Amino acid sequence: MQAYRVVGCFPNGRVIQPFTSDIVAENEDDARHRVLSSMGSRHRVKRRFIKIESISVIDPSDSAAAAVIAHFRAKEVPPPVTTVPDAAGSEEE
């Protein structure tokens, strides 16, 4: 899976609404499908009215999208380090 940035526009009432979406997808076709599905669901716009201008692979650290950050987060979290104070060695002589 890779991070993609999709840039495009769609009609929103009387205005043409530009958008930029950072998503995680397997390839460009999957990225296109996910954006069309998301915009259609959120804004009730038919796929044929959504114009995608560019799809590019990005570095996941460049994205502020929560889905991208969560997907590329380190999978293993090291256990917390706990220290137990030594009661016998706490006094100085």
Residue 92: predicted pLDDT: 59
Which residue, chain included where needed, has tokens 């009215």?
Answer: 49
User: What pLDDT is attached to residue 82?
Assistant: 76
Residues across the chain: 93
Task: Report all structural domains of the chain as residue ranges with CATH numbers, in order of start.
Answer: 2-71 (3.10.20.10)
Q: Is the pLDDT of residue 86 over 70?
A: no
Angle at 19 between CA 18 and CA 25, to 5 degrees: 150
Does this model's pTM top 0.75? My answer is no
DSSP code per residue over the chain: -EEEEEEEEEEETTEEEEEEEEEEESSHHHHHHHHHHHHHHHH---GGGPEEEEEEEE-GGG---HHHHHHTS-SPPPPPP-----STTSS--
* pLDDT per position as a tens digit, 34-62: 999 999 999 999 999 999 999 999 999 88
Mean pLDDT of the chain: 87
Q: What percent of the chain has pLDDT over 70?
A: 83
